[in-house]
Amino acid sequence: MILVLQKVATILDLLKKEKALGLSDISRQLKIHKATLSHIMKTLESIGFVKRDEHGEYVIGPEIHALSQSSLKYGPLAGIAQMCAESLVESIREFVVVSMLYNGRRFNLARIRPERSLFVSDVHQPAPTLFNTATGRVLLAFNKKICEELKKDPEAAAELAALAGILPKVRIEKSSTVLSDDGEALALAVPVFDRSGEAWITVGAGIPLHRYEQDKEFYLSHLRRTAEEMGEILGNRGLSISDL
């Protein structure tokens, strides 16, 4: 999977530089087999990261252009997150989310629901925040600077105080779990470390509790493997939170 993720980042970088290219041009310049490239481009097109212009050539898609002012860095990151999430869903067949911390807020880079008949809905869950989600707690646990900033706000400071006994455990175990209000599902998240050792991205999954309890190690090992692969991609591309 890691080779596919590297190809995605390279393709998006090439399209940013060349503006518009056909499948044959991309294949020739990047030395990617056409059949492999066609599959990757179909996936990127389906999620809006690339599109075809009036000449049938590939260009950067609307989802990339809709990102923040840092889209030149953030766009490839979103593509990498999407591909990681898709691969993880295929492995564990559960709801998967890849989240990041930016400007003191939690953003989702990718969210994918599996084609399962049994999935615990999050409709009745509280609005997700840094404080009440597994992904958010991982981000807080590994970003002391953000915690210091949040303490300046009385409400946020109170929320952090309530997590005083939880965040140290998250740092030690390098994972976080949060049970849904109805007790039927569990959210699991692990950190993705960048080249500086910071964790500003997390990989998470929403899992019905009875399935999680049957094989906790199965889910944890798959999330950690995905996080390690994404961290390696970040390192190879030299990406850190300061780049966004």
First to last CA, the chain: 25
116 band by pLDDT with thresholds 50, 70 and 90: low
Main-chain dihedrals φ then ψ at residue 203, nearest 5 degrees: -110, 125
Domain spans, the chain: 2-65, 71-243
**The Cα angle at residue 129 between residues 128 and 133, in degrees rounded to 5:** 70
pLDDT of residue 70: 47
Q: Kindly report the number of other CB atoms within 10 A of residue 243's CB atom.
A: 14
Bridge partners for 191 per DSSP: 202
- Closest to 92 measured CA to CA, from 201, 6, 190, 233: 190
| pLDDT at site 184 | 92
Provide CATH code, domain 71-243: 3.30.450.40
Pick the CATH number of 2-65 from 3.40.718.10, 1.10.10.10, 3.40.50.300, 3.50.50.60: 1.10.10.10
Residue in the block written with tokens 């094989």: 215
Q: Please write the tens of the pLDDT for every residue from 117-173.
A: 344 444 345 567 889 999 999 999 998 888 998 999 999 999 999 999 999 999 999
154 Cα distance to chain centroid: 30
**Tell me: the pLDDT tens digits for 177-221?**
999 988 999 999 999 987 777 788 999 999 999 999 999 999 999
The pLDDT score that the predictor gives to residue 122 is 42
The span from the CA of 174 to the CA of 171, in Å, is: 5
pTM (2 decimals)? 0.68
What integer pLDDT is reported at residue 186 of this predicted model?
A: 95
Could you report the per-residue pLDDT of 21-79, keeping only the tens digit for each? 999 999 999 999 898 899 889 888 887 789 999 999 999 887 666 553 444 445 577 78
| Structure confidence at residue 242 (pLDDT) | 53
Q: Which residues of 17-41 are buried (b: 16+ CB within 10 A; e: fewer)?
A: eeeebebeebbeeeebeeeebeebb
